[in-house]
Structure 1
Amino acid sequence: MTEYGRGPGSEPWHPQDPLYGDGGWEGQQAHAGQSAYGGQPQQQYPQQPQQPQYGGWSQEQQPGYDGQHQRQYYEGQGEPPYEQQFAGHAQPLQEGEWAAAGGHGPVPYAADPGDPYNQQPVAYGEQPDRYGTEDAYPPPQPPGRRRPDPEPEPEPAADEEDHAFFAGGGAPDEEEHELQSRRERRGAGRKPVKKKKGRTGCACMVVVLVFGGGLGGVGYFGYQYYQNRFGAAPDYAGSGNGQQVTVTINKGDGGWAIGQKLKDAGVIESAAAFVSALQANPGGKALQDGVYTLEKQMSAASAVELMLSPKSRSNLIIAEGLRNTAVYGLIDKRVGVAAGTTARIAKKDYKHLGLPTWALGHPNLKDPLEGFLYPSSYAVTKGQKPEAVLRSMVSQATAKYRELDLVKKAEALGLDGPWQLLTVASLAQAEGTSHDDFRKMAEVVYNRLEADNPQTYGRLEFDSTYNYVKDQSKIDLSIAELRKYDNPYNTYFSKGLPPGPIDNPGEEALRGALDPTHDGWYYFISMDGKTSKFTKTLDEHNKLVEEWNASRKKN
């Protein structure tokens, strides 16, 4: 084999030749009598004269030999002895040199100073033909015919009982050796295939368990989704199992929150069932906060019905007009502490129970919390701390007074702040006998507070203020007794309003104090203990007093 071409033999070019594959495949043709590209016959075309190209795969008609011979460049199909090339340039021999060279006889080449292989040129016919042997390089293929390396042959399938997955081991050593030999024959440049680890029979069980667990989880959550979206809510049947339980419902709790509390206490089975029953009940919107005594395992409908009944209510109810002394006793009894405990806590810690700033700093008060234990229903159970109960009552009173805007409206009524307005409401609450009385009763207070009024000359003269100081509720009081008792709360002795509220007024009394009548009322009397009669003059009032005394004698 020569340096830059192929001789008559079948040995291919060396892949490391610097001009190996240079220039493309456009002009390559198979040698006469020899098939190209794996033995496939090539179509012959008429030879056309061509000019030598640099580094190209071309044929050139050479002068001097009548076009009978053609030299072929870089195609590996035969190499004329007269060809001398360097860096891709062909130089033709002079006339006569072809004959001197012996026609087709071997002609030696001069040593190429740029020979990268440092080899001496050889003559034709001296190289052994190694094409088709193991030492030969495969013939070059054109780009269009190059194919990727063949895929590895699939391993022979094993019987199920002998397969590695079930047998618990890998392929035998002989099989691995044979597979490795195949890979080496396919190409030394390929990366070796890692041997697969053997799998035991436990893998099959793990797959089954995981797959089965996934199906079970999907089924469970699918069922739960269907039940939550389309199925009926879980619910007990009946009106309970006889085991009583106490549940506290806070103010502002909605149907779902109440249902969740009942579920946690074991009363109902699900909050969703309670919400449905509450919406289905016509009186469901009337459900209030408080403490309820119910039974466990009740149907949602029976729980709603019982909660709407007064029988289940066990709240601490603070009635309108109650004095603090009565409220303290109720708290002591409900939370289970000794009598007087709540009153001592109120006297000691009243500044830390949430009173607004305008309710602090007033002198001569009998009880600084009077007027702030707001009449309402409170969820109070045994074991609670009295201070917690007091704080909730003060908080509710403060919220109500803020809602009614006592601070702003007291100034419009000519009063010295919301404290006096609250005191007027407590007087109307104490003296009134019905809700219709509160506006008229408030007018009586405002009219008598006028220092130059012609009826009382600035004195209120309310029996209720004297009774408050004495912590009593008498109606048969003599004027002489009332006028002699020196106490700031005794409005028969002192002019103007008492130092503070004398009870806890409800919302109707508060609204009456905010919006009094303007009819000129100065006097009032209750003839039957249920309704009051109002008069403008003392003479009219005295006539009603005589009627009341006469009625008492008959009884």
Structure 2
Amino acid sequence: MTENGRSPGSEPWHPEDPLYGDQGWGGQQAEAGQTPYGGQPQQQYPQQHGTQQQQYPQQYGTQQDPYQQQYGNQQDPYQQQYDEQQRQYDEQQRQYEEQQRRQYEQQQQQQYNQQQYNGGWDTGQYSAMPYGTAGADTYGGQQPGYGSPQEADYYATPEAYPPPQPPGRRQAEPEPAPTEWEAEAPQEETHPFFTGEDGGDDDGEDDNDPGESRRGGELRGKTKTKKKNRNGCACLVVSLVLAGGLGGVGYFGYQFWQGQFGAPEDYSGAGSGTAQVEIPKGAGLGEIGNILKEAGVVKSAGAFVSAANGNPKGKTIQDGVYLLKKEMSGVSAFEMMLNPISRDNLIIPEGKRNIWVYEQIDKRLKIKAGTTKKAAEANAKKLGLPAWADDNKDIKDPLEGFLFPASYPVAKGMKPEAVLQKMVARANQEFTKKDIQGQAAKLGLKSPLQVLTVASLVQAEGKYQHDFDKVSRVVYNRLKPNNAETVGRLEFDSTINYIKGDSKLDLGAVDELRKINDPYNTYDIKGLPPGPIANPGLAAVNSALHPAAGPWYYFVSITEDRTLFAVTNAEHERNRKKYEEEQEKQDQ
């Protein structure tokens, strides 16, 4: 056979001829940029090949080479195919330019950088000539093709449509751009942390390892199990950290819940030892609970509050000083405070004189006898007396009548001035409520202090409270200028006892009593004494402000339930005899 002719066998043409065997892509085609005959122009088969022409007169004769007849002056069919593909690509490119331009350019550029188009048929020889380089004209220079210097390469730019590949190297067509509703749909998670793949090259493996190849954007070859294992360990560590964090949050949350809604801490039992606490006036349960906790009585304020709220008498705790025990349960502490025995307050009874109050404060504070009396004399003007107090130079004690009868917290360690100040403050509070200052003139009195003096006399002379209103009327009747029975004198034994600091009932003859030279001696002076002779309670103050109506000038208490009132002295003497008879019966 000739070098470029046919062989006498059944297979026409050279195996590298495009028409050899399957004339389509079923056979091996020459790749772009290289001619099918080693770069030489395709030879024609004229009549000068006599031997061959005679041997195959019907096949050749005087005809042109069938290859030449097939193509003749027509454009290269491959060129037509490529032009059509180019037009399709241009149309497609215009439609999806806004959505796919950047992504498509990066994908095409990566494919061109990683792969080169190898020329030649499947003969084991590959050309390294890339697209865009000048190559031999496949068709003897008659038609400009790709690789021809006469025409720009259609595949040299990143935007170019990929050249056709042999069947063994064809790649999958790029997926069409997603529609608007597909683009808004949630995408599948592809992060290496969730997929188990490592995006980095941590283990030093080369991305260009021959054992791995990329086709259609998918990774083929060996799997990186080591990276997946490391990612698995990372997931485990992160899970443990998250679990530990949640556990910590849960613990502190439980502690907060316990503090807000759980059962409060509490001791058990009735406690032991002693603890003295002072509860201020107006203190709520929460404040009382905190005071008890600070004193070591209860373990938490909540324990006491819980016990008080669970008892119908929960809001009846009074102010004052209480003697309790250490480490008591909330219930035990609350029940003990309800018992009057536990209150360690200094209680000032109604009608007590200041001298008695001073002595009791000394005893409660465990200080030297007479200390409180000296403190009262030295600090009387600093203890909060009202402006209308101490308005007479003959007043024996300016605090008399202002140490209001009530219960006061007096605990060891307090100063006597502080105790007296509390009592005066309470008196001002109560007297202001009664409007003593405004009622004085209506009663025909010169000052509010005289109202308080009348109240002290009612408290001292009226043996029983149910008689206070009538006793008050006797005082006002005797103070009248037209009083013919006593001529303006009160003649109360209580004033003599105040002078002597005594509490006797039978003081002797009236003539002897009038000889006592003292501004508080109502047997001698007319009208009211200079100031109160005791500390009256609210009942006596009310009676002094609202005396009963009646003509009485005298009264005498025969028994506890019976007081006899009289208008004249003769009637009063008869009542006195009844009193003496009753006393004889009691003595027998």
TM-score w.r.t. the length of structure 2 is 0.62
Judge conservation of contact 2:464–2:560 (CA < 8 Å) in 1. no
* CA deviation profile, 1:188-213 (whole Å, cap 9, x unmatched): xxxxxxxxxxx9x9999798457524
Deviation at 1:436, TM superposition (A): 0.6
Deviation at 1:256, TM superposition (A): 2.7
Give the SS at the match of 1:357. Answer: coil
Deviation at 1:489, TM superposition (A): 1.1
CA separation of 1:486 and 1:221: change in aligned 2, threshold 3 A: same
Identity score, percent: 44
Deviation at 1:493, TM superposition (A): 1.3
Aligned to 1:221: 253
Deviation at 1:371, TM superposition (A): 0.8
Deviation at 1:482, TM superposition (A): 1.6
Give the SS at the match of 1:499. Answer: coil
Deviation at 1:232, TM superposition (A): 4.7
**Stretch moving more, 276-285 or 32-41:** 32-41
Return the match for 1:520 from 541, 551, 564.
Answer: 551
Judge conservation of contact 2:401–2:533 (CA < 8 Å) in 1. yes
Judge conservation of contact 1:433–1:531 (CA < 8 Å) in 2. no
Aligned to 1:471: 501
CA separation of 1:481 and 1:222: change in aligned 2, threshold 3 A: same
Give the SS at the match of 1:275. Answer: helix
Q: Letter of the aligned partner of 1:461 in structure 2? A: E
1:534 and 2:557 are equivalent in the alignment = no
Judge conservation of contact 1:433–1:530 (CA < 8 Å) in 2. no
Judge conservation of contact 2:296–2:326 (CA < 8 Å) in 1. yes
Take 2:86 and 2:191, find their aligned partners in 1: how far apart are those partners?
26
Take 1:309 and 1:302, find their aligned partners in 2: how far apart are those partners?
11
Aligned to 2:524: 493
Aligned to 1:371: 401
CA separation of 1:214 and 1:131: change in aligned 2, threshold 3 A: same
1:387 and 2:408 are equivalent in the alignment = no
Alignment map for 1:3-152 (pairs within 5 Å): 34-35=82-83, 40=88, 129-133=152-156, 136-139=157-160
CA separation of 1:424 and 1:202: change in aligned 2, threshold 3 A: farther
Give the SS at the match of 1:244. Answer: strand
Give the SS at the match of 1:294. Answer: strand
Judge conservation of contact 1:425–1:512 (CA < 8 Å) in 2. yes
Greater fraction helix: 2
Take 2:350 and 2:393, find their aligned partners in 1: how far apart are those partners?
25
CA separation of 1:157 and 1:382: change in aligned 2, threshold 3 A: closer
Give the SS at the match of 1:295. Answer: strand
Deviation at 1:216, TM superposition (A): 3.0
Judge conservation of contact 1:284–1:308 (CA < 8 Å) in 2. no
Return the match for 1:502 from 533, 541, 545.
Answer: 533
Judge conservation of contact 1:332–1:338 (CA < 8 Å) in 2. yes
CA separation of 1:41 and 1:440: change in aligned 2, threshold 3 A: closer
Aligned to 2:54: none
Take 1:341 and 1:156, find their aligned partners in 2: how far apart are those partners?
86
CA separation of 1:357 and 1:375: change in aligned 2, threshold 3 A: same
* CA deviation profile, 1:436-493 (whole Å, cap 9, x unmatched): 1211111111111102112112111111112212222222213122211222111111
Judge conservation of contact 2:479–2:490 (CA < 8 Å) in 1. yes
Alignment map for 1:73-472 (pairs within 5 Å): 129-133=152-156, 136-139=157-160, 171=202, 208=240, 211-222=243-254, 224-225=256-257, 228-229=260-261, 232-240=263-271, 242-472=272-502
Aligned to 2:131: none
Give the superposed CA RMSD.
Answer: 4.3
Judge conservation of contact 1:35–1:42 (CA < 8 Å) in 2. no
Deviation at 1:427, TM superposition (A): 0.5
Give the SS at the match of 2:514. Answer: helix
Take 1:316 and 1:154, find their aligned partners in 2: how far apart are those partners?
81
Larger Rg: 2
* CA deviation profile, 1:354-401 (whole Å, cap 9, x unmatched): 112222443211111111111011111000011111111111111011
Take 1:170 and 1:430, find their aligned partners in 2: how far apart are those partners?
107
Aligned to 1:13: none
* CA deviation profile, 1:202-237 (whole Å, cap 9, x unmatched): 9997984575244333344246536854x5554433
Take 1:421 and 1:275, find their aligned partners in 2: how far apart are those partners?
44
Structure 2: tracts of 5 or more residues without a match: 1-32, 34-78, 92-141, 163-175, 184-189, 210-216, 218-230
CA separation of 1:455 and 1:170: change in aligned 2, threshold 3 A: farther
CA separation of 1:537 and 1:155: change in aligned 2, threshold 3 A: closer
User: For this pair of structures, how many residues does the alignment match?
Assistant: 419
**Stretch moving more, 440-449 or 253-262:** 253-262
Take 2:293 and 2:313, find their aligned partners in 1: how far apart are those partners?
21
CA separation of 1:171 and 1:404: change in aligned 2, threshold 3 A: same
Q: Letter of the aligned partner of 2:332 in structure 1? A: S
Take 1:379 and 1:213, find their aligned partners in 2: how far apart are those partners?
53
**Stretch moving more, 416-425 or 207-216:** 207-216
Structure 1: tracts of 5 or more residues without a match: 1-9, 11-30, 44-103, 106-124, 179-185, 187-198
* CA deviation profile, 1:112-134 (whole Å, cap 9, x unmatched): xxxxxxxxxxxxx976635534x
Take 2:389 and 2:85, find their aligned partners in 1: how far apart are those partners?
112
Judge conservation of contact 1:36–1:42 (CA < 8 Å) in 2. no
Deviation at 1:323, TM superposition (A): 0.7
Deviation at 1:518, TM superposition (A): 0.7
Give the SS at the match of 2:426. Answer: helix
Take 2:402 and 2:461, find their aligned partners in 1: how far apart are those partners?
19
Give the SS at the match of 1:533. Answer: strand
Q: Letter of the aligned partner of 2:524 in structure 1? A: F
